[in-house]
Structure 1
Amino acid sequence: MSTVVTALGHEWEARMVALVDSLPGIDVGRRCVDLAELVSAVAAGHGDVALVSLELRGLDRDALHQLDLAGVHVVGASAEGDEDSERRLRQLGLTRVVHLGTPADELADLLGVARRGPAPGAATLAGTVGAGPTSTGGVAVATDDPQAGPPRPTDEPPPAPEAGRARGRVVCVWGPTGAPGRTTVAVNLAAELAGSGVPTLLVDVDTYGASVAQALSMIDEAPGAAAAVRASEAGSLDLPTLARVAPEVLPGLRVLSGIPTPARWTELRAAAVEHVLDLSRDLAPLVVVDCGFSIEDDEELSYDTLAPRRNATTLVALEAADEILVVGAGDPVGLQRMVRAVQALADLPVVAPRPVVNRVRASAVGSDPQRRIADSLRRFAGLERIAFLPDDPASTDAAMLAGRTLAETAPGSPLRAALRELAGALAGRALPRPSRTGSRLLRR
C-alpha cells in the first residue's frame, strides 16, 4: 500500500483526491492546506508520496529539498491542460508531473513508486546538506518509454544540453579563517583563465565576507548569486537568465557577485545554490567558486527540526567541485590552520584538495621558505603538489585600490606569474609567460 499526502490547488483538489483514492493499492493519508502542514505530515511519517501543485504557497526548490530529506517521493500535479504549471514544476526539478487527465494506470504507476524502495534522498542526504552533483535534488525521474521499467532515482548529473559537448568543471577556492587570500586567488585565477581564452564564470558564495564585487569595482546592491538563487527557487532559472545576472566584467569573464552584507546569508539556500552551480557548468567551461571559510554543521545540534544552515553553501560547493584549492597563509599560524582545514575536509565527500600557500616569505618562516613549508605540510598533513604564491603586498594593494586584477595593474609582478602558472595547471596547458608591458586588459 502506498500512502499519498496531497497539497493541491483548491479548485480541482477534490477531483484529484477522488481520482487518486480510487486507484488500487494507493491511499490518500492526509490532505494538507499549506506547506507547513505538508512538511509536518511527511516528517511524521504519514505518507510515502507527496503530491504537490504550484498553488501551494511557498513551494520552491528549498521546500522540495526538505521533502526529499524527509524521505518521500515528490510528484507534481496540475490542472488538465495547464502547460505553464507543468513547465514550472519541471523547472523546479520535478520530472514526475501528473494532471487530471493522466490515465489511471499511468497515475497508479507514478504514485505507487513508494512500494519499490525508499526515496532517493533518504539515504544519500541524511548526513549531508546537499544532494551532490545532481540537479533534481534526488527526485525520481520518469521515463516516457513504457517498456523501460519502473522509474529510477537520479544518481548522475543530467546530460549536457548539446550532444557531444563536455560540461564545465567547478573549481572551489577555499581556506581556513584568517584572511589567507581566498578572494584574491579566486579573482585573479578566473581573470587569468579568461585572459588565456577559457571562458570562465566566477561565483561568490561566501556567506561571511563576500568581496568579489568590491575587488572588481562592481555594484553590489543587486548581487548576482542571490538573484540566481531566487530564480532557481521560483523555478525560472535557465541559461539565458543565469547569463543575464552574471555580467561579463572582462572579456571571457562573467561574475556572479555575492551578498553585500553577511546578514543576507539566508538568501543563499543550499538546494538552489547546488542547482546554480550545476547550471553554471553549461554556461562556462570553468567555474571558479569563492567559498566561505567555515564548514561546520552545528545547526542540527541546536535544533530538533530542519534549520537554515549558514555554511550549507560552502559544503554544497565543495561537494560539487571537481577541484578544490585550499588556500593558506605562509606563516606558522596560517600553516597550522591549513593543516587542520585539510584534516576537516577528509570527513566530507569531496575530491582530494590541492594546497595553495599564499604570501610565502622568508621573514615569516626562515630561509628557503618553500622548502620549509613543503616539508612541514608533507610531514603533518601528507600534502603534495603544493602551489606557492609569493608575498607581493605592493601589487595586491594597487589592484585592490583600483578595483582591478593583477593582470591589469601589475602584469609583470611575481605573484601574477605564479597565479598564471596555477591557472595553466587548472586549464591543463601551460600559459605563456606574462609580458611586463602591453598586458592591460580592456574592462567592459
Structure 2
Amino acid sequence: MALQVVTAVTGAAWEAALVGALDRADHGVTVVRRCVDASDLLATAATGTAQAALLSADLHRLDVDAVARLQAGGVAVVGLVDPGDDRAGDRLRALGVTTVLPADAAPEEVVRALREAVTGGPAGGRDVADPRAALPGAGGDGPEPADRRPARGRVVAVWGPTGAPGRTTVAVGLADEAARLGVPTLLVDADVYGGVVAQVLGLLDESPGLAGAARQAAAGTLDEAALLRLAWSVRPQLSVLTGLARADRWPELRPRAVGAVLDEARRVADLTVVDCAFNLEEDEELSFDTAAPRRNGATVTVLESADEVLCVSGADPVGLQRTIRALGQLRDLLPEVEPVVVVNQVRRGPVPGDARREIGEALERFAGRPVRAFLPVDRGATDAALASGRTLAEVAPGSPLRAGLRGLAAALARVPEPAPGRRGWRRRRAG
C-alpha cells in the first residue's frame, strides 16, 4: 500500500516539483494533502489519513508542541530546508524533527527518509487530539547541532507546599550564595501563581524573562546567546530570569517550552536554581478532549527535569502537615523524583521541646523523608533584604539564616564551603 504523506512547505519554490515527483506511482507515495499552516496540518493528521509529514522551517504556527502532537499521533515527521540553510535545519531539530534533508535531495532519498521515519517513529494508533499528546515526554528530542556546547549544568528545583514556607527566600539565597562561591548561576522564577523574584531583588518585573525564553524555545530559536540576553545580570556569576508579571499570563509557560529553556540553561550556567509553584494538580489538559494549556504543567516539568528537588517546609504544625501531604502527592505523581526536605523558619514556640529533633522525627515517620537542612528564622535580616531589594549576604552577612543557606548552596553546587571568617564573605556590593 502507498505511503500516505501530507506536505506543509507553503511558499517554497520547490514544493510543486517535489509533490509531483513524490506522486509518481513507482515511488509508492501518495500526497493526500498540501497544508497551508500548522493548524491545517494538525487537523489533517487528526483524521488519521496520514502516516508521515514533510515540513519546512518557515511553516506558519509551527512550534515544538505541534511537532510533538504529530509524533504522539503516530505521524512521522521529516523536515526540508533550502540547500545551505543551516539555521532552518537547526530550528527544525530544536523543534524535535530528527530527520532534516535539503530540498534538492533526490525524490528517492526523500521517500527513503519518510519510510525510515515511519518505521522507526513512535507507535501509531493514537489520536493526535489526545490531550496527553502535549504532556512532557510525549515526543522525541532531536539531536543537538554539532557546534553546540554539551549541557553540563545542574538544575535544582525549589518547591514546597502552599502557605508561604519561604520557597522564594530559599531559592534567592541559594542562587546568591552559589554565585559568591564562584559558580556561574542562573536563578529562574517559574512560579505560575505569583512569582516575586524580581521584586525581591529590586528588578523590573515587566521584562520578558522566562515568558520570553519560553516563546523563543517554542519557536525553536532559543540558544545560549538569546537566553543570556533575556536574563538580568545581577552580579558576576549570577543571572536572573524573571517570572510572569501577572498570574493570568500562565498559559505562556507551556511545559515543553519550559523544558527546552531548562535544557538551554544547563549550557549557560553550572547551576540553575528554579523557584517553583506549589500546585501539582492535574488540570485542564486531562479534563478535556483537546490539548488545552495546563497551569501546573510548568511546575511538573521543572520537577521532572531537575537533578535535585528541594521541598521547603514550614517549621510549625500546619506547615509540617502541608509538607507531608505535598510529599505524598509528589510521590503519587512523580514516583521517580526523590525530594530533599529543607525546613525553613525554625524557631522556638510552635513545636514544643527540641524543635529540630521533633520536626525531623515527624517527617521521618509520616513522610519517610529525612531533613537535609534546618534554616533558622531571621525576620530582621529578611525584612531588611526585602525592603532594600538586596540579598541577605549584602544586608546581613552574619545572619544565621545566611550561614545556613551558604552551607546548603555549597553542597548543591558541589564546591567547598569557605570558612566564615574569610574576608570575601563580608564584602558588600559596590554602590
Q: Output the TM-score relative to the length of structure 1.
A: 0.87
| Alpha carbons of structure 1 residues 424 and 87: separation in structure 2 relative to 1, 3 Å | closer
| 5+ long unaligned stretches in structure 1 | 142-156
| Alpha carbons of structure 1 residues 14 and 308: separation in structure 2 relative to 1, 3 Å | same
Structure 2 counterpart of 1:196: 181
Structure-to-structure mapping, 1:133-212, within 5 angstroms: 138-139=140-141, 161-162=148-149, 167-212=152-197
Does residue 245 of structure 1 match 2:230? Answer: yes
Does residue 415 of structure 1 match 2:401? Answer: yes
Structure 2 counterpart of 1:154: none
Alignment-mate amino acid for residue 365 of structure 2: R
Query: Within 1, Cα distance between the matches of 2:123 and 2:314?
Result: 41
Structure-to-structure mapping, 1:59-74, within 5 angstroms: 59-74=62-77
| Maintained 8 Å contact 1:160/1:166 | no
Query: Within 2, Cα distance between the matches of 1:168 and 1:139?
Result: 19
The Cα shift of 1:71 comes to 3.1
Query: Within 2, Cα distance between the matches of 1:201 and 1:120?
Result: 38
| Maintained 8 Å contact 1:197/1:252 | yes
Structure 1 counterpart of 2:369: 383
| Maintained 8 Å contact 1:374/1:386 | no
For 1:282, what is the secondary structure of its paired residue? helix
Structure-to-structure mapping, 1:37-116, within 5 angstroms: 37-80=40-83, 82=85, 84-116=87-119
| Alpha carbons of structure 1 residues 395 and 122: separation in structure 2 relative to 1, 3 Å | farther
Cα deviation 1:204-224 (Å, max 9, x = unaligned): 111111111111111111131
Cα deviation 1:228-248 (Å, max 9, x = unaligned): 122222322111111111121
For 2:156, what is the secondary structure of its paired residue? strand
Alignment-mate amino acid for residue 377 of structure 2: D
Query: Within 2, Cα distance between the matches of 1:256 and 1:140?
Result: 25
Alignment-mate amino acid for residue 61 of structure 2: G
For 2:27, what is the secondary structure of its paired residue? coil
Alignment-mate amino acid for residue 361 of structure 2: D
Does residue 442 of structure 1 match 2:429? Answer: yes
Cα deviation 1:50-70 (Å, max 9, x = unaligned): 222234221122322332332
Alignment-mate amino acid for residue 7 of structure 1: A
The Cα shift of 1:19 comes to 2.5
Alignment-mate amino acid for residue 14 of structure 1: A
Query: Within 1, Cα distance between the matches of 2:412 and 2:146?
Result: 23
| Alpha carbons of structure 1 residues 264 and 115: separation in structure 2 relative to 1, 3 Å | closer
Does residue 324 of structure 1 match 2:309? Answer: yes
Cα deviation 1:319-356 (Å, max 9, x = unaligned): 11100001111111111111111111213154311001
| Alpha carbons of structure 1 residues 289 and 130: separation in structure 2 relative to 1, 3 Å | same
Structure 2 counterpart of 1:393: 379
Structure-to-structure mapping, 1:275-354, within 5 angstroms: 275-346=260-331, 347-348=333-334, 350-354=336-340
Cα deviation 1:278-335 (Å, max 9, x = unaligned): 0111101111111111111221343111101111111111111100001111111111
| Alpha carbons of structure 1 residues 439 and 269: separation in structure 2 relative to 1, 3 Å | same
| Alpha carbons of structure 1 residues 38 and 128: separation in structure 2 relative to 1, 3 Å | closer
| Alpha carbons of structure 1 residues 349 and 246: separation in structure 2 relative to 1, 3 Å | farther
Q: Output the TM-score relative to the length of structure 2.
A: 0.90
Work out the number of aligned pairs and report it.
Answer: 422
| Deviates further, 363-372 or 80-89 | 80-89
Cα deviation 1:116-164 (Å, max 9, x = unaligned): 24427999x95882129xxxx51566xxxxxxxxxxxxxxx889945xx
| Alpha carbons of structure 1 residues 348 and 114: separation in structure 2 relative to 1, 3 Å | same
Query: Within 1, Cα distance between the matches of 2:274 and 2:145?
Result: 21
Query: Within 1, Cα distance between the matches of 2:46 and 2:89?
Result: 26
Query: Within 1, Cα distance between the matches of 2:307 and 2:382?
Result: 28
| 5+ long unaligned stretches in structure 2 | none
Alignment-mate amino acid for residue 189 of structure 2: D
Query: Within 1, Cα distance between the matches of 2:381 and 2:147?
Result: 40
Structure 1 counterpart of 2:252: 267
| Alpha carbons of structure 1 residues 416 and 83: separation in structure 2 relative to 1, 3 Å | closer
| Alpha carbons of structure 1 residues 56 and 127: separation in structure 2 relative to 1, 3 Å | closer
Does residue 28 of structure 1 match 2:31? Answer: yes
| Maintained 8 Å contact 1:49/1:73 | yes
| Alpha carbons of structure 1 residues 160 and 188: separation in structure 2 relative to 1, 3 Å | farther
* Identity across the alignment (%): 50
Alignment-mate amino acid for residue 74 of structure 2: G
Q: CA RMSD in A?
A: 2.7
Give 2:136's match in structure 1, choosing from 130, 138, 160. 130
| Maintained 8 Å contact 1:322/1:351 | no
Does residue 362 of structure 1 match 2:348? Answer: yes
Alignment-mate amino acid for residue 4 of structure 2: T
The Cα shift of 1:191 comes to 0.4
| Maintained 8 Å contact 2:156/2:306 | yes
Query: Within 1, Cα distance between the matches of 2:387 and 2:124?
Result: 47
| Alpha carbons of structure 1 residues 370 and 158: separation in structure 2 relative to 1, 3 Å | farther
| Deviates further, 349-358 or 12-21 | 12-21
The Cα shift of 1:185 comes to 0.4
Query: Within 2, Cα distance between the matches of 1:371 and 1:337?
Result: 19
| Alpha carbons of structure 1 residues 422 and 101: separation in structure 2 relative to 1, 3 Å | same
